[in-house]
Amino acid sequence: MLFTLGLSAQSIKSPNGNFNLTFELKDGVPVYQLSMGGEPIVKESKLGLELKDTPSLLGGFTIENTEESTFDETWQPVWGEVKDIRNHYNELAVTLNQKETARKMIIRFRVFDDGLGFRYEFPEQDNLIYFVIKEERTQFAMTGDHTAYWIPGDFDTQEYEYNTSKMSEIRALMAGAMRGNASTTTFSDTGVQTSLLLKTDNGTFINLHEAALIEYSCMHLELDDENMIFESYLTPDAVGNKGYMQAPRVTPWRTVIASKNAGDILMSHITLNLNEPCAYDDTSWIKPVKYVGVWWEMITGKSDWAYTSLPAVQLGKTDFSETTPSGRHGATTENVKRYIDFAAEHGFDAVLVEGWNEGWEDWIGKSKDYVFDFLTPYPDFDVDEVREYAKAKGVKMMMHHETSGAVRNYERHMDKAYQFMVDNGYNSVKSGYVGNIIPRGEHHYGQWLVNHYQYAVEKAAEYKIMVNAHEAVRPTGLSRTYPNLIANESARGTEYEAFVGTKAEHTTILPFTRLIGGPMDYTPGIFQTDISKINPDRDTFVHTTLARQLALYVTMYSPLQMAADLPEHYEQHMDAFQFIKDVAIDWDDTKVLEAEPGDFITYARKAKGTENWFVGRTNDEIGRTSKIKFDFLDADKKYIATIYSDAKDAHYETNPQAYEIKKVIVTSKSKLSQYCAPGGGYAISIMEVKDKSELKGLKRL
């Protein structure tokens, strides 16, 4: 296919010439197109915004000025998948003039060797100061009916399973794809969420997402399935508006990452690069965290968050010391101490405790403003005792702030709540936004909430607190600027396996979609996959083998990793648990060894500051053989590899706990052909040999 270029067309290439971006005005309407190695990726697509009560910024433009520049820097993230990140692009900034209204808008394009980012900018000017967005009208016109890996567009939840279908099939599949959640607001039969992965018939992968979502509402995509055009669909506020702006202001970046090679999508740094450099001078307090917690026992229904079985409580009025406990409360001092002991014994950094504070009797589905104060413990959770015990054992406590969607209430209490954390030795918080938002009518992904999540992260930094927000808007690379945002949930995590189950392929898609924006608190490490063994009232199971749970520490990149299962389950498999103890959570280098979305992913990562590597492979529901080379290793070194794999008869449904562990010598010349069971995978720790005596009795791979 040939592009038709008008005379006024401007075009720039990526630094290596692979991508070509063209911009022009067609009858005053801004349009762009993108190609990769001559192959069209985005066909001619319109740009602009529809405004409320004022003329839109959709057409009537002339080009006032264009500026081209180039940028090349290498920067070091505070934590990450690699040590050095190169940010290298060519930029085209087009200043548009809407003569009739005497208003200006800049569209800034950055073309990288792996794709494109662009945004709208509203410079300071007399005729455009305050304005309200009715809808952003950014198009991504696809070249055909690609395969899409999608979840329904929803203003309040991303906790869906992925659907893999042709774009043209989305409409017919949508009703079946929408499922219940504590808060859900779908909007269209062809509405999908970003980050969206597509695969063309000739095998090109395309990812559409956004970067640096600040003071703006989160973008969904709505498909015009006659013309195969995705168009932006912003999350509205309570009265239906989509964004309140004041110039000078910029929008988030819209991103298009593309490659013939699936692994390049996973390794793209476009999303981080389009964010601003770190906003903090001192980042010494931000550290990756491996943690355990009083959590899975509530998720599986073995114990409760609430202290009583009262149908309702009132903070400050209900005297919990006078109420009868249900006997099912998980967050008791004694139980927490057991987890602290376990964390200390096995080298974990922190212990999360949920359900420690008053109010859980009312936490879900009540639309109640004052559910929690984030300060007052239940009578059986002794804050002082826990603080001193954890301190003596060298373990940090991880705070839990469930807001129950009552966001205004959380903001009211935030300073005190963070100060309480500092006073009691908690340096990280898991926050949560379950249920419909208060102020009522606001959505989880609207501008008001986006501003709140940002406020919570920046305010936490004042207290040197790291944040892991659940049910918050999906990440857009903001952790480059605010690295104390160490993870988010914002997708369907392991918890759903205990509720209803999730297809085995889920973790072969998430890295291509949700993780493009940033790390996920996926909470892996479930060894007892049969939930009925923990709670006889449930018949759910985790769609995985035990070996694959180990692999997830490598394949689901995050500087925050939980060993989510109960200590007693780890105690039954100490040999396999060793991998969770050993695996790094911060990396100097990362390689994708094998990848096909929906089928499998194999990563190798080099642990920060060491010569040790870790490999992880996650498989879908089909048994497959993985073939990898160890050529990522240093050719002059020898290593001992411990391979944790599925046994031959392992199967995620019938025989999940069948695993094998073997130790072998590997070098950069080694190769491995490894069977992965249905729902399986494998994990390998590769430790540099420092003393020859370590090799005794071991065979070469």
- What does the block give as tokens for 298? 């509530």
Looking at 237, 382, 489, 620, which residue binds ligand NOJ (CB under 6 A)? 489
HEC sequence for 146-170: CEEEECECECCCCCCCCEEEEHHHH
Residue 646's binding partner out of Ca ion, ligand NOJ, none, with CB under 5 to 8 Å set by partner kind: none
Of 471, 495, 497, 505, the active-site residue reads 495
495 is catalytic: yes
Q: Which has the closest alpha carbon to 199: 171, 172, 167?
A: 167
Q: Report how far apart the first and last C-alpha atoms of the chain are (Å, whole number).
A: 49
- Segment 397 to 456, residues that bind ligand NOJ, using CB under 6 A: 402, 432, 434
Is 274 or 299 the residue whose CB approaches Ca ion more closely?
299
308-to-49, 366, 383, 432 alpha-carbon distances in Å: 52, 17, 19, 21
Site string for ligand NOJ, 282-321 (x = CB under 6 A): -------------x--------------------------
Coil, strand, or helix at residue 494? coil
Q: Quote the DSSP letter at residue 397.
A: E
* Amino acid at the residue 9: A
Let me know: does 316 contact 364? Beta carbons within 8 Å.
no
Tell me: does residue 354 bind ligand NOJ (CB under 6 A). yes
**How far apart (Å, rounded) are the C-alpha atoms in residues 380 and 382?**
6
Let me know: does 534 contact 526? Beta carbons within 8 Å.
no
Q: Which stretch binds Ca ion (CB under 5 A): 9-17, 295-303, 464-472, 666-674?
A: 464-472
Q: Compute how many other C-beta atoms are within 10 angstroms of the C-beta atom of residue 690.
A: 10
Looking at 81, 113, 237, 495, which residue binds ligand NOJ (CB under 6 A)? 495
Nearest distance from residue 406's CB to Ca ion, in Å?
Answer: 16
Is 3 or 499 the residue whose CB approaches Ca ion more closely?
499
Is 432 or 680 the residue whose CB approaches Ca ion more closely?
432
Let me know: does 629 contact 671? Beta carbons within 8 Å.
yes
Tell me: does residue 231 bind ligand NOJ (CB under 6 A). no
Residue 358's binding partner out of Ca ion, ligand NOJ, none, with CB under 5 to 8 Å set by partner kind: none
**How far apart (Å, rounded) are the C-alpha atoms in residues 568 and 292?**
12
Is 150 or 522 the residue whose CB approaches Ca ion more closely?
522
Instruction: Give me the residue label for tokens 């973008």.
Output: 219
- Backbone phi and psi for residue 266, each to the nearest 5 degrees, phi listed first: -65, -35
Is 180 or 536 the residue whose CB approaches Ca ion more closely?
180
Let me know: does 630 contact 567? Beta carbons within 8 Å.
no
Site string for Ca ion, 467-486 (x = CB under 5 A): ---x----------------
Q: Which has the closest alpha carbon to 544: 683, 675, 643, 677?
A: 677
Nearest distance from residue 485's CB to Ca ion, in Å?
Answer: 17
- Backbone phi and psi for residue 171, each to the nearest 5 degrees, phi listed first: -55, -45
Nearest distance from residue 520's CB to ligand NOJ, in Å?
Answer: 11
CA angle 656, 661, 666 (to 5 degrees): 135
Tell me: does residue 359 bind ligand NOJ (CB under 6 A). no
Is 402 or 505 the residue whose CB approaches ligand NOJ more closely?
402
Tell me: does residue 358 bind ligand NOJ (CB under 6 A). no
Q: Which stretch binds Ca ion (CB under 5 A): 5-13, 24-32, 465-473, 662-670?
A: 465-473
**What is the total count of residues that contact ligand NOJ (CB under 6 A)?**
8
Nearest distance from residue 356's CB to Ca ion, in Å?
Answer: 19
- Interaction site with Ca ion (CB under 5 A): 470
- Interaction site with ligand NOJ (CB under 6 A): 295, 354, 402, 432, 434, 470, 489, 495
- What residues are labeled active site? 495
